[in-house]
Amino acid sequence: MKLFSAAYAPNPRRVMMFIAEKGVTDIEVVQVDLVKGEHREPDFRAKSPLAQVPTLELDDGRTITESRAICLYLEALYPEPNLMGRDAFERASIEMWDRRAELLFAMPLLMWVRHGSPMLEAVEKNQNAEVASWYQAQALRMAKWLDGELAHRPWIAGDRFTIADITAACGMDFAKMVRWRPGDDLPNLKRWRAALAERPAGQTPA
């Protein structure tokens, strides 16, 4: 298999962190240069019609896009360590927290960066300062909420590390481009990120 990825982009990193936590070593990683527009080239669009990374190409030529879908496929191929739930309730609970981590926390952080970081002007042609400000406020509200949740458990979805932690970390780490990190006012979120850094997934470059 080949994984078409892009350095520093949060969605490809989500899959790279998932692979690292699984300990998978037999997937070839191909870097796509987004600044140069390699994702828009006809050869790549044949694999990913919406010009998206990550894209997983199977040995028979079929492809899967969308980071969550790729992780679901890899979970089936490499079931241990389990990251998406072992029974019906746990799968549903982890899915619930992964959706919250993505839609309520990571997505506002990503939109804040996309519209507010000068470093992305070459890629994001329609940056809007008002949009950046709105998503910044939303992201910081959710950071406070998530900090409160993490006061009661070590990981986002419960007592063990799951894909929900990977999803939240990808959004948080991308926010370094707007110089945001949880400080002493968010002690539980700060503790959680430090614990994640000690895991295989946490060794993936941000």
For the chain, what is the mean pLDDT? 95
pLDDT at 112: 96
Same domain, 21 and 69: yes
For the chain, the domain total comes to 2
Q: What percent of the chain shows pLDDT beyond 70?
A: 100
- For 24-43, what is each residue's pLDDT tens digit? 999 999 999 988 889 999 99
Strands 2-5 and 28-31: parallel
Domain contains 68 = yes
- Does residue 192 sit in the same domain as residue 149? yes
Say if residue 93 is in the same domain as residue 193: yes
pLDDT category at 158 given cuts 50, 70, 90 is very high
* pLDDT at 135 (0 to 100): 97
Q: What is the pLDDT of residue 154?
A: 98
Question: Is the same domain home to 165 and 97?
Answer: yes
Task: Specify whether 63 is located in the same domain as 95.
Answer: no
DSSP output for 73-139: HHHHHS-SS-SS-SSHHHHHHHHHHHHIIIIIIIHHHHHHHHHH-GGGTTT-TT--HHHHHHHHHHH
Cα separation, 187 vs 191, whole angstroms: 6
pLDDT single digits (tens) 56-83: 999 999 999 999 999 999 999 999 999 9
CATH number for position 176: 1.20.1050.10
> Is pLDDT of 18 > 80?
yes
> Treating both helix axes as pointing N-terminal to C-terminal, what angle do 163-174 and 10-22 enclose, rounded to 10 degrees?
140
pLDDT of residue 47: 96
Whether 21 has a pLDDT exceeding 90, the answer reads yes
Same domain, 42 and 102: no
Among the candidates 53, 77, 101, a domain finishes at 77
49 and 145 in one domain? Answer: no
What are the pLDDT digits (tens) for 97-152? 999 999 999 999 999 999 998 878 767 778 899 999 999 999 999 999 999 999 99
Domain's final residue, options 77, 109, 141: 77
Among residues 77, 97, 120, which one ends one of the domains?
Answer: 77
> 102 is in which domain, residue-wise?
88-199
User: 164 and 116 in one domain?
Assistant: yes
Domain assignment present for 206: no
CATH number of residue 34's parent domain:
3.40.30.10
Alpha-carbon separation of residue 172 from 1, 26, 73, 105, 166 (angstroms): 29, 28, 25, 8, 10
Q: Does residue 205 lie in a domain region?
A: no
Please report whether residue 165 resides in a domain: yes
Residues 68 and 92 in one domain: no
Q: Are residues 97 and 195 in the same domain?
A: yes
In a domain, 8, yes or no: yes
Are 60 and 92 contained in the same domain? no
The pLDDT-based confidence of 183 (bands split at 50, 70, 90) is very high
83 in any annotated domain: no
Residues 146 and 176 in one domain: yes
In a domain, 12, yes or no: yes
Has residue 175 been placed in a domain?
A: yes
DSSP structure string for 104-120: IIIHHHHHHHHHH-GGG
